[in-house]
Amino acid sequence: MKPRVLSGIQPTGSLHIGNYLGALKNWVRMQHDYECVFCIVDLHAITVHQEPAELRRKIEQTAAIFLAAGIDPKISSVVVQSTVPAHAELAWLLTCATPLGWLERMTQFKDKAAKQESIGDGLLQYPVLMAADILLYKANAVPVGDDQSQHLELTRDIAQRFNALYGDTFVMPETKLPTVGARIMGLDDPSKKMSKSETGSNHAIGLLDEPSVIRKKVMRATTDSNPAVDFESMGAGVVNLLTIHQAFTGWTDDQMKQHFTGMRYGDLKKTVAE
Protein backbone atom coordinates (compact mmCIF):
# COMPACT_ATOMS: atom_id res chain seq x y z
CA MET A 1 0.00 0.00 0.00
CA LYS A 2 1.27 3.50 -0.85
CA PRO A 3 1.90 5.90 2.05
CA ARG A 4 -0.78 8.56 2.38
CA VAL A 5 -0.58 12.33 1.93
CA LEU A 6 -3.03 14.91 3.22
CA SER A 7 -2.79 18.64 2.60
CA GLY A 8 -5.17 21.57 2.22
CA ILE A 9 -5.65 25.13 1.07
CA GLN A 10 -8.14 27.66 2.39
CA PRO A 11 -10.56 29.03 -0.22
CA THR A 12 -9.86 32.58 0.94
CA GLY A 13 -8.83 35.43 -1.34
CA SER A 14 -6.91 34.64 -4.51
CA LEU A 15 -4.36 31.85 -4.55
CA HIS A 16 -0.84 33.16 -5.15
CA ILE A 17 2.52 31.80 -6.24
CA GLY A 18 3.44 31.18 -2.57
CA ASN A 19 0.54 28.70 -2.33
CA TYR A 20 1.70 27.13 -5.59
CA LEU A 21 5.43 26.87 -4.81
CA GLY A 22 4.94 26.04 -1.12
CA ALA A 23 2.20 23.46 -1.57
CA LEU A 24 0.45 22.78 -4.90
CA LYS A 25 3.59 22.13 -6.94
CA ASN A 26 4.69 19.47 -4.44
CA TRP A 27 1.21 17.93 -4.40
CA VAL A 28 1.28 17.41 -8.16
CA ARG A 29 4.68 15.71 -7.92
CA MET A 30 3.74 13.51 -4.96
CA GLN A 31 0.43 12.20 -6.29
CA HIS A 32 2.18 9.44 -8.26
CA ASP A 33 4.08 8.04 -5.24
CA TYR A 34 1.48 8.54 -2.50
CA GLU A 35 -2.22 7.99 -2.01
CA CYS A 36 -3.28 11.65 -1.85
CA VAL A 37 -6.17 13.53 -0.30
CA PHE A 38 -6.24 17.25 -1.10
CA CYS A 39 -8.65 19.31 0.91
CA ILE A 40 -10.34 22.67 0.29
CA VAL A 41 -10.48 23.70 3.93
CA ASP A 42 -13.57 25.91 4.08
CA LEU A 43 -14.06 25.30 7.83
CA HIS A 44 -10.62 26.87 8.33
CA ALA A 45 -11.60 29.77 6.07
CA ILE A 46 -14.50 30.75 8.35
CA THR A 47 -12.17 31.28 11.33
CA VAL A 48 -12.22 34.84 9.92
CA HIS A 49 -15.42 36.37 8.51
CA GLN A 50 -16.41 35.25 4.98
CA GLU A 51 -19.38 36.30 2.84
CA PRO A 52 -21.26 33.00 2.19
CA ALA A 53 -21.86 33.53 -1.56
CA GLU A 54 -18.27 34.64 -2.11
CA LEU A 55 -16.98 31.64 -0.11
CA ARG A 56 -18.99 29.24 -2.30
CA ARG A 57 -17.52 30.88 -5.41
CA LYS A 58 -13.98 30.62 -3.99
CA ILE A 59 -14.44 26.91 -3.20
CA GLU A 60 -15.26 26.26 -6.87
CA GLN A 61 -12.41 28.48 -8.04
CA THR A 62 -9.92 26.70 -5.74
CA ALA A 63 -11.05 23.29 -7.08
CA ALA A 64 -10.55 24.56 -10.64
CA ILE A 65 -7.03 25.79 -9.75
CA PHE A 66 -6.16 22.36 -8.28
CA LEU A 67 -7.08 20.73 -11.58
CA ALA A 68 -5.33 23.41 -13.67
CA ALA A 69 -2.15 22.98 -11.58
CA GLY A 70 -2.09 19.27 -12.41
CA ILE A 71 -3.99 17.47 -9.64
CA ASP A 72 -5.47 14.43 -11.36
CA PRO A 73 -8.85 13.47 -9.84
CA LYS A 74 -8.45 9.94 -11.27
CA ILE A 75 -5.55 9.26 -8.89
CA SER A 76 -6.04 11.81 -6.08
CA SER A 77 -9.07 12.66 -3.93
CA VAL A 78 -10.19 16.29 -3.79
CA VAL A 79 -12.42 16.92 -0.77
CA VAL A 80 -14.34 19.97 0.44
CA GLN A 81 -13.70 19.79 4.19
CA SER A 82 -17.23 20.78 5.33
CA THR A 83 -18.82 17.92 3.36
CA VAL A 84 -17.14 15.36 5.65
CA PRO A 85 -18.56 15.87 9.19
CA ALA A 86 -15.81 13.69 10.72
CA HIS A 87 -13.33 16.61 10.39
CA ALA A 88 -15.33 18.74 12.86
CA GLU A 89 -16.17 15.74 15.06
CA LEU A 90 -12.54 14.69 15.48
CA ALA A 91 -11.52 18.32 15.99
CA TRP A 92 -13.75 18.43 19.09
CA LEU A 93 -12.24 15.24 20.52
CA LEU A 94 -8.74 16.64 19.94
CA THR A 95 -9.71 20.04 21.40
CA CYS A 96 -10.53 18.28 24.67
CA ALA A 97 -7.04 16.71 24.73
CA THR A 98 -5.15 19.93 23.84
CA PRO A 99 -3.79 22.27 26.53
CA LEU A 100 -4.80 25.90 25.92
CA GLY A 101 -1.20 27.09 26.35
CA TRP A 102 -0.10 25.08 23.28
CA LEU A 103 -2.59 26.99 21.11
CA GLU A 104 -1.83 30.43 22.55
CA ARG A 105 1.83 29.98 21.58
CA MET A 106 1.10 29.55 17.83
CA THR A 107 2.69 32.39 15.85
CA GLN A 108 -0.01 32.37 13.15
CA PHE A 109 -2.66 32.83 15.86
CA LYS A 110 -0.72 35.71 17.40
CA ASP A 111 -0.18 37.38 13.99
CA LYS A 112 -3.79 37.03 12.84
CA ALA A 113 -5.20 38.03 16.25
CA ALA A 114 -3.05 41.17 16.24
CA LYS A 115 -4.65 42.29 12.95
CA GLN A 116 -8.23 42.18 14.29
CA GLU A 117 -10.12 44.16 16.91
CA SER A 118 -12.00 41.13 18.20
CA ILE A 119 -11.28 37.51 17.40
CA GLY A 120 -13.43 34.40 17.36
CA ASP A 121 -12.49 31.24 19.25
CA GLY A 122 -12.19 29.46 15.88
CA LEU A 123 -8.95 31.29 15.17
CA LEU A 124 -7.39 29.77 18.31
CA GLN A 125 -8.73 26.31 17.40
CA TYR A 126 -7.48 26.53 13.77
CA PRO A 127 -4.47 24.22 14.33
CA VAL A 128 -6.59 21.64 16.18
CA LEU A 129 -8.89 21.42 13.16
CA MET A 130 -5.80 21.07 10.98
CA ALA A 131 -4.57 18.24 13.23
CA ALA A 132 -7.98 16.58 12.83
CA ASP A 133 -7.76 16.84 9.00
CA ILE A 134 -4.39 15.11 9.02
CA LEU A 135 -4.96 12.51 11.74
CA LEU A 136 -8.42 11.54 10.43
CA TYR A 137 -6.89 10.15 7.23
CA LYS A 138 -3.87 8.61 9.04
CA ALA A 139 -1.65 10.67 6.73
CA ASN A 140 2.05 9.74 6.70
CA ALA A 141 3.23 12.95 5.02
CA VAL A 142 1.95 16.53 4.81
CA PRO A 143 3.40 18.77 2.08
CA VAL A 144 3.10 22.41 3.23
CA GLY A 145 4.91 25.73 3.13
CA ASP A 146 7.20 26.73 5.97
CA ASP A 147 4.50 28.87 7.66
CA GLN A 148 2.63 25.67 8.53
CA SER A 149 5.63 23.85 10.11
CA GLN A 150 4.69 24.94 13.62
CA HIS A 151 1.13 23.63 13.15
CA LEU A 152 2.54 20.29 12.00
CA GLU A 153 4.69 20.06 15.12
CA LEU A 154 1.59 20.75 17.17
CA THR A 155 -0.30 18.03 15.26
CA ARG A 156 2.38 15.51 16.29
CA ASP A 157 2.22 16.76 19.92
CA ILE A 158 -1.57 16.39 19.99
CA ALA A 159 -1.40 12.91 18.41
CA GLN A 160 1.24 11.81 20.92
CA ARG A 161 -0.77 13.13 23.85
CA PHE A 162 -3.97 11.49 22.60
CA ASN A 163 -2.16 8.18 22.04
CA ALA A 164 -0.65 8.37 25.55
CA LEU A 165 -4.05 9.10 27.13
CA TYR A 166 -6.23 6.67 25.17
CA GLY A 167 -3.95 4.10 23.54
CA ASP A 168 -2.29 3.92 20.15
CA THR A 169 -4.75 5.63 17.78
CA PHE A 170 -3.02 8.05 15.43
CA VAL A 171 -0.18 7.82 12.89
CA MET A 172 2.62 10.42 13.32
CA PRO A 173 2.68 12.59 10.16
CA GLU A 174 5.91 13.90 8.65
CA THR A 175 6.27 17.50 7.38
CA LYS A 176 7.36 17.75 3.72
CA LEU A 177 8.75 21.18 2.84
CA PRO A 178 9.89 22.11 -0.67
CA THR A 179 13.67 22.56 -0.90
CA VAL A 180 13.25 25.94 -2.63
CA GLY A 181 10.15 28.14 -2.24
CA ALA A 182 9.03 27.03 1.23
CA ARG A 183 8.48 30.70 2.17
CA ILE A 184 7.82 33.20 -0.63
CA MET A 185 7.79 36.77 0.65
CA GLY A 186 5.62 39.74 -0.35
CA LEU A 187 6.93 41.68 -3.37
CA ASP A 188 6.12 45.00 -1.69
CA ASP A 189 7.53 44.04 1.72
CA PRO A 190 9.95 41.09 1.72
CA SER A 191 9.88 40.94 5.52
CA LYS A 192 6.33 39.53 5.36
CA LYS A 193 5.36 36.19 3.80
CA MET A 194 3.23 36.41 0.66
CA SER A 195 -0.32 36.01 1.89
CA LYS A 196 -3.85 36.01 0.44
CA SER A 197 -5.12 38.24 3.21
CA GLU A 198 -2.58 41.06 2.62
CA THR A 199 -4.37 43.77 0.67
CA GLY A 200 -1.48 45.72 -0.94
CA SER A 201 -1.92 45.73 -4.75
CA ASN A 202 1.74 44.88 -5.28
CA HIS A 203 2.01 42.28 -2.51
CA ALA A 204 1.25 38.95 -4.19
CA ILE A 205 1.39 37.41 -7.65
CA GLY A 206 -2.00 35.76 -8.11
CA LEU A 207 -2.21 32.45 -9.97
CA LEU A 208 -4.98 34.04 -12.05
CA ASP A 209 -3.15 37.34 -12.74
CA GLU A 210 -2.76 38.33 -16.40
CA PRO A 211 0.86 38.17 -17.69
CA SER A 212 0.90 41.99 -18.09
CA VAL A 213 -0.14 42.42 -14.43
CA ILE A 214 2.54 39.95 -13.28
CA ARG A 215 5.19 41.85 -15.26
CA LYS A 216 4.12 45.15 -13.68
CA LYS A 217 4.20 43.69 -10.15
CA VAL A 218 7.64 42.14 -10.59
CA MET A 219 9.06 45.34 -12.12
CA ARG A 220 7.87 47.25 -9.01
CA ALA A 221 9.20 44.67 -6.50
CA THR A 222 11.29 45.96 -3.60
CA THR A 223 15.04 45.26 -3.97
CA ASP A 224 17.89 46.96 -2.07
CA SER A 225 20.33 49.85 -2.49
CA ASN A 226 22.88 47.85 -4.57
CA PRO A 227 22.74 48.38 -8.34
CA ALA A 228 23.18 44.72 -9.27
CA VAL A 229 23.04 41.15 -7.91
CA ASP A 230 25.81 40.36 -5.43
CA PHE A 231 25.40 36.89 -3.87
CA GLU A 232 27.69 37.92 -0.95
CA SER A 233 25.37 40.71 0.16
CA MET A 234 21.72 40.74 -0.87
CA GLY A 235 18.59 42.35 0.57
CA ALA A 236 15.55 40.18 1.31
CA GLY A 237 13.70 41.46 -1.77
CA VAL A 238 16.48 40.34 -4.13
CA VAL A 239 16.73 36.96 -2.37
CA ASN A 240 12.96 36.61 -2.84
CA LEU A 241 13.07 37.36 -6.59
CA LEU A 242 15.90 34.86 -7.06
CA THR A 243 14.04 32.25 -4.99
CA ILE A 244 10.92 32.67 -7.14
CA HIS A 245 13.01 32.21 -10.28
CA GLN A 246 14.82 29.15 -8.91
CA ALA A 247 11.63 27.52 -7.63
CA PHE A 248 9.94 27.86 -11.04
CA THR A 249 12.93 26.84 -13.15
CA GLY A 250 14.52 24.19 -10.91
CA TRP A 251 17.99 25.68 -11.57
CA THR A 252 20.83 24.63 -9.24
CA ASP A 253 22.58 27.13 -6.94
CA ASP A 254 25.58 27.14 -9.31
CA GLN A 255 23.39 27.88 -12.34
CA MET A 256 21.75 30.73 -10.44
CA LYS A 257 25.11 32.24 -9.47
CA GLN A 258 26.53 31.95 -12.97
CA HIS A 259 23.50 33.51 -14.61
CA PHE A 260 22.67 36.30 -12.17
CA THR A 261 25.96 37.49 -10.58
CA GLY A 262 26.42 41.17 -11.51
CA MET A 263 23.07 41.41 -13.30
CA ARG A 264 21.44 44.84 -12.88
CA TYR A 265 18.12 44.78 -11.02
CA GLY A 266 16.11 45.95 -14.05
CA ASP A 267 17.34 42.92 -16.02
CA LEU A 268 16.87 40.58 -13.05
CA LYS A 269 13.23 41.67 -12.82
CA LYS A 270 12.69 41.24 -16.56
CA THR A 271 14.10 37.70 -16.35
CA VAL A 272 11.94 36.78 -13.36
CA ALA A 273 8.80 38.28 -14.96
CA GLU A 274 9.26 36.08 -18.02
Active-site residue list: 112, 193, 196
Per DSSP, the three-state class of 37 is strand
The distance of Cα 172 from the centroid of its chain, to the nearest Å, equals: 20
Asked if residue 192 binds ligand AQP (CB under 6 A), the reply is no
Q: Rg (Cα) of the chain, in Å, rounded?
A: 20
Answer for which of 18, 127, 190, 237 binds ligand AQP (CB under 6 A) is 18
Per-residue contact flags (x/-) with ligand AQP for residues 21 to 60, judged by CB under 6 A: xxx-------------------------------------
Residue 132 sits at the vertex; the CA angle it makes with 127 and 135, to the nearest 5 degrees, is 120
Answer for which of 160, 197, 226, 255 binds ligand AQP (CB under 6 A) is 197
CB of residue 195 to ligand AQP, shortest distance in Å: 3
CB of residue 21 to ligand AQP, shortest distance in Å: 6
CB of residue 168 to ligand AQP, shortest distance in Å: 28
CB of residue 83 to ligand AQP, shortest distance in Å: 18
CB-based contact 87:133 (threshold 8 Å): yes
Per DSSP, the three-state class of 197 is coil
Q: Give the residue from 36, 63, 158, 45 showing the smallest Cα distance to 106.
A: 158
Instruction: Supply the DSSP symbol for 23.
Output: I
Per-residue contact flags (x/-) with ligand AQP for residues 135 to 164, judged by CB under 6 A: ---------xx-xx----------------
Q: Is the dihedral of CA 239, 244, 197, 112 positive or negative?
A: negative
Can you give the binding site for ligand AQP, defined by CB under 6 A? 9-10, 12-13, 18-19, 21-23, 144-145, 147-148, 182-184, 193-197
